Amino acid sequence: MVVMPNTFDDKPSNPRPVVRRRRGEQKEQLRRLILQTASEMFFELGYHEFSMRKLAARIGYSVATLYLYFRDKDDLLFTVVDDAFTLFRNQLAEAADKSTDAWERLSHLGEAYVRFGLSNPASYRLMFMWRTDYLIESRVGEDGPRVQAFQVLLDSVQDAMDQKELTQDDAASYSDVLWAMLHGIVSLAIQMPMFDEKRTMKLVTQAKTMIYKALHA
């Protein structure tokens, strides 16, 4: 008796989806390598000394390859910054979710903000201290991580007002005050060697006490 082969079981599988998936993974790995190395080099060299050619030499790829992923130096920088803001936004949101008490939430947010800056000084400089034109640029309808990060703070301030824990005023103005205070602390910490983590967090505690006394309803 002759057994006929099962044409369905014996049919070779199509390797193309596997190949495409692997290529996609390789492209994403290279993109992450470009972003990580660019972040380090922006910090090392500064914006003006950084170049796509220097980056290509560092990672061992051609300049032409970089331009397959990013239009120019600014496009690369802003992508690095947006990735950092995504992490920043997520950490602020996690901090805000730790408590339903208005003042505790603001306290957690303040600590999360400062710890992000201490843990990611290169990213923080890129986000808030270099090319701030990108940070403040107005884009109609934008809902990116930069906007969302500030919205976490704004929502928490508004919630504190709704709970009658803050004196009634403009929530955006209060948020600006808190942001300015936290930014000042982080800037001191990452620029001035004498501000180690212990001294910096003590400063955060004292600042929170002063804000509480000044703004508590």
Separation between Cα atoms, residue 35 and residue 30, nearest integer Å? 9
Best CATH choice for the domain 77-215 from the list 1.10.357.10, 1.10.3720.10, 3.30.70.1450, 1.10.510.10: 1.10.357.10
pLDDT of residue 180: 93
Domain 15-70 homologous superfamily, CATH: Homeodomain-like (1.10.10.60)
Separation between Cα atoms, residue 35 and residue 55, nearest integer Å? 10
Is the separation of the CB atoms in 207 and 110 below 8 Å?
A: yes
Positions of the chain with pLDDT lower than 50, given as ranges: 3, 7-8, 10, 12, 138-141
| CB atoms near residue 35 (< 10 Å) | 18
pTM of the shown model: 0.77
| CB atoms near residue 95 (< 10 Å) | 22
- Angle (CA) 134-138-141 rounded to 5° is 120
Could you tell me the two tokens for 110? 């303040």
